[in-house]
Structure formats: structure tokens, C-alpha cells
């Protein structure tokens, strides 16, 4: 799954939200960084000022690629609306990114409870 397709899928499920997946090189290793915020407007136009901002890294590990639940937005926000996120694994970056997109689509109705929907 390309980062553009991921952005499109999540944007359709959560149209008032901000999502941007991009490929970068961290310490010599290609990594996909996904930034997500429930709202599209933030204090001083800085996404990190959104208390519901999450940044997820899709990184290579010994078994393939993984996304750790510890990288997700403050867990208290997710738990307060009944959403679980532990770990996503995939044999390829595309598989891991696809599973993350499915997680967003599956939980869109709950994530909307945190935003201005």
C-alpha cells in the first residue's frame, strides 16, 4: 500500500481529520512516519499542539515490520472511548501500513468522538 493510498483511505473514513503518511530515512533505515490528528486546526498551526496528535512509525524489526502501540496518542484518550491498540505487524511495509489503515477505518466512529464531528 502506498502512502498516498493510506492517506486517502484514512481521510475518507475521517474526513475532518488530518493524516499524512510519508517515507523518510532515519539512521540509515527507511521508515514510514504517519501523523494523525482528529482536527485540522491547531494552536499556532502546529500539529504537535493538538492534544490528540499521534505519530506512528512503521519500522523494520527481526520478523518484518511493526507498529508498536506505545507510539500511539496518549492511551488514556483511546481507552476513554473504548479503543484498543497494541501492536500491528506485517511481513512487508505495505502489509503493516494496510493493517494500520484498517485499524483507522474500524475505529473511525470512536475516534470521531474525540474530535469536532
Residues 79-113 have pLDDT tens digits of 777 777 777 888 888 898 899 899 889 988 888 87
Sign of the C-alpha dihedral computed for residues 10, 11, 14 and 16 taken in this order: positive
Determine the structural domain holding residue 54 and report its residue range.
Answer: 3-114
pLDDT (mean) for 26-37: 81
- Prediction pTM value: 0.80
CA atoms of 18 and 22, how far apart (whole Å) = 13
Q: State how many domains the chain has.
A: 1
Amino acid at each position: 500500500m502506498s502512502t498516498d493510498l493510506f492517506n486517502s483511505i484514512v481521510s475518507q473514513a475521517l474526513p475532518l481529520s488530518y493524516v499524512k503518511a510519508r517515507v523518510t530515512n532515519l539512521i540509515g533505515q527507511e521508515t514510514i512516519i504517519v501523523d494523525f490528528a482528529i482536527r485540522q486546526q491547531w494552536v499556532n498551526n502546529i500539529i504537535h499542539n493538538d492534544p490528540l496528535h499521534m505519530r506512528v512509525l512503521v519500522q523494520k524489526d527481526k520478523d518484518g515490520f511493526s507498529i508498536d502501540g506505545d507510539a500511539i496518542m496518549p492511551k488514556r484518550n483511546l481507552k476513554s472511548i473504548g479503543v484498543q491498540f497494541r501492536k500491528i505487524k506485517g511481513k512487508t511495509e505495505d502489509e503493516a501500513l494496510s493493517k494500520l489503515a484498517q485499524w483507522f477505518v474500524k475505529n473511525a466512529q470512536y475516534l470521531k468522538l474525540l474530535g469536532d464531528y
